Structures are given as structure tokens and as C-alpha cells.
């Protein structure tokens, strides 16, 4: 359980976070979505007590982070790709962190195994690939077997196998009843990983909604020579359909459901196109503005 209560944070003349409030519930993966520079990392740093907010408060399990009796046993975090000193071995890196919370050596070896790093535990972190460093950071987050997990852009720079591993891990952690907050600037990644979305732009909350609602709000555009028959079938399924000659605009069902129905009803389709929702449009608009801003600089 994480409660963010109206936090604001300014860096010189940039308002990084501006009166942001949201809750992160246990048992689901909450995606923290926003373009680069939207304030995701800052918000996470405030939750972890690394940066002090100008106003507002962030509570983890009902208290401020610094008040947690054994922080790593409550919260596991991956920030800055879990930076490790390049001269320290993977195992020593974890031992240093484990010691600070009275976590034993056996647990260190356990998380090395969980992260698939047992065979390289004695290697210096400086020799690790980005993917291995990411795994080491996640091993560190898991050290205290925490109830809350916070991952900042965990799939950045990972190969497909690594992305799949992290995605599965996050879903498993949430299924065990843990609170999982994971940030990303990619809508597609979040649609696959998260159950719930907290979307921010320029430090402000844009949406706090379930992923399913976002996807269900999509319109599907279909072109078929059997438009009339298909429209009836779709309406019978509960979809809202608008017909214009051979073209149908469908709302209230997912593209997958439309495709399956077409197969079941043996309807020939010439085109099936999901259309972005207003929420996705809003996000794309933000991302685009961000890119333009970056290019103009």
C-alpha cells in the first residue's frame, strides 16, 4: 500500500511534480505511466525518502519511508538500474545491502538464484551487461522479501527474454498479494504488464484507471462485405455499432472479441483496425509534445 498525498517538487525553475495524489493497492501491478520527464522518477524518489517534497506527503504501509523499522523488509526498490559499485562482486553488493537490515547470507544466495545470477555471483558488477545489472538490482529489491515493490523503468535496455522475465516476475509478485508499482514511458508495455494505470504528464495526474477500462474504451474499425449481418451479431454480443456502407465502427468490445466473433460467424473481413481511445490519444499527444520539446532544445 502506497499513498501519495498532494506532493509537489521543484528543481530550480522546473516543476517536476505538481500536486500529485494517488494510491497504489496491493495484489495488482500498478503501471506508472508518463513520457520522459513527466516526474515518475521524482515521485518514486519522494516515496523512498530520497528527495524531500516541497509540499505533500508519501506514505508506505501507512508511515513515511524513513519511519519504517526495517525498510528493506517492507519495500524493495529498483532505481538507477540498481547501481552497484563496479569493483564489487554481485554477492558482496547484496551482502552490503542485506547487512544494513539484518538480512542473512542465506537470503543473499536465495535472491541470487531467483535472479538467475548464482553462476556469476563472484564476478565484479563492472563486468556485467545491462541485463545482468538489471537482474542484480531486482535481486537487491527482493532481499527483504518486501510487501511493497517499486521498479523504475525495469525493462529499459533489456532483451526480449529479460523483458518477459521481469513481466512474469512482477505479475507473480502482485499475485502473492504484494503492492507493485512499476514505471514506464511505453503504453504498450504497460498494457501487457499492469492491471491498473496511474498516468501523469508534466508532474500532474492525467488518469487513475484500470488497464481494462482503457482497452475496453477502444473503438474497432471493420470493413466487411457482410456489414449488415456482422453488425447484428455484434449488437447481439452487446457492442455499440455504427454502420456506414461496408464500414463498421464498433465500441464496447475489444479487437480480440471482434476478431473471434468474425471467425465464429464466418464473416469475411477486409480490415480490422483498433482505434486509440481519447486516453491513449492524450498520452500520445503528451509524448509527442515531449519529443518536440526535446528536439527543439
Q: Closest distance between other proteins and the C-beta of residue 124, in Å? A: 10
**Does residue number 106 form part of the binding site for other proteins (CB under 8 A)?**
no
Q: By rule CB under 8 A, what string of x and - marks binding of each residue 139-158 to other proteins?
A: -x------x-----------
Rounded distance, CA 136 to CA 216, Å?
37
Q: Which stretch binds other proteins (CB under 8 A): 58-66, 127-135, 181-189, 285-293?
A: 58-66
CB of 33 to other proteins, least distance (A): 22
Whether the Cβ atoms of residue 271 and residue 221 lie closer than 8 Å to each other: yes
CB closer to other proteins, 65 vs 165:
65
**Rounded Cα–Cα distance for residues 152 and 58 (Å):** 17
Contacts of 135 (CB under 8 A, 6+ apart): 115, 116, 117, 162
What's the length of the chain?
Answer: 297
The one segment of 72-80, 162-170, 187-195, 272-280 that binds other proteins by CB under 8 A: 72-80
- The enclosing H or E element of 252 equals none
Binding-site string for other proteins from residue 73 to residue 92, where x marks contact by CB under 8 A and - marks none: xxx-x-xx-xxxxxxxx--x
Q: Do 65 and 48 form a contact (C-beta atoms < 8 A)?
A: yes
Q: Is 187 in the site for other proteins (CB under 8 A)?
A: no
**Cell numbers that stand for 288 in this block:** 509527442
Q: Which residues pair with 75 in a beta bridge?
A: 148
Residue numbers at the binding site for other proteins (CB under 8 A): 1, 26, 45, 48-52, 61-63, 65-66, 68-75, 77, 79-80, 82-89, 92, 95-97, 99-102, 140, 147
Amino acid at each position: 500500500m502506497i499513498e501519495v498525498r498532494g506532493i509537489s517538487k521543484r528543481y530550480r525553475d522546473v516543476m517536476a511534480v505538481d500536486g500529485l495524489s494517488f494510491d497504489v493497492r496491493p495484489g495488482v501491478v500498478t503501471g506508472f505511466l508518463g513520457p520522459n520527464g513527466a516526474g515518475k522518477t521524482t515521485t518514486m524518489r519522494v516515496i523512498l525518502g530520497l528527495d524531500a517534497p516541497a509540499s505533500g506527503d508519501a506514505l508506505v504501509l501507512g508511515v513515511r519511508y524513513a519511519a519504517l523499522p526495517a525498510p528493506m523488509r517492507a519495500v524493495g526498490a529498483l532505481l538507477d538500474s540498481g547501481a552497484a559499485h563496479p569493483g564489487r562482486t554481485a554477492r558482496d553488493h547484496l551482502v552490503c545491502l542485506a547487512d544494513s537490515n539484518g538480512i542473512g547470507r542465506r537470503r543473499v544466495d536465495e535472491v541470487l538464484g531467483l535472479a538467475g545470477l548464482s553462476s556469476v555471483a563472484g564476478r565484479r558488477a563492472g563486468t556485467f551487461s545491462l541485463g545482468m545489472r538489471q537482474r542484480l538490482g531486482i535481486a537487491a529489491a527482493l532481499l527483504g522479501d518486501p510487501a511493497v515493490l517499486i521498479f523504475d523503468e525495469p525493462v529499459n535496455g533489456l532483451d526480449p527474454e529479460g523483458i518477459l522475465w521481469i513481466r512474469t516476475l512482477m505479475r507473480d509478485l502482485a499475485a502473492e498479494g504484494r503492492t507493485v508499482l512499476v514505471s514506464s514511458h511505453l503504453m504498450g508495455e504497460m498494457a501487457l504488464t499492469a492491471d491498473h494505470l496511474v498516468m501523469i504528464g508534466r508532474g500532474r495526474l492525467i488518469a487513475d484507471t484500470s488497464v481494462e477500462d482503457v482497452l475496453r474504451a477502444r473503438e474497432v474499425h471493420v470493413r466487411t462485405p457482410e456489414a449488415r449481418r456482422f453488425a447484428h451479431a455484434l449488437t447481439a454480443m452487446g457492442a455499440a455499432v455504427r454502420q456506414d456502407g461496408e464500414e463498421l465502427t464498433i465500441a464496447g468490445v475489444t479487437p480480440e472479441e471482434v476478431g473471434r466473433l468474425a471467425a465464429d460467424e464466418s464473416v469475411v473481413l477486409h480490415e480490422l483496425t483498433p482505434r486509440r481511445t481519447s486516453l491513449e490519444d492524450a498520452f500520445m499527444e503528451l509524448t509527442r509534445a515531449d519529443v518536440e520539446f526535446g528536439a527543439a532544445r
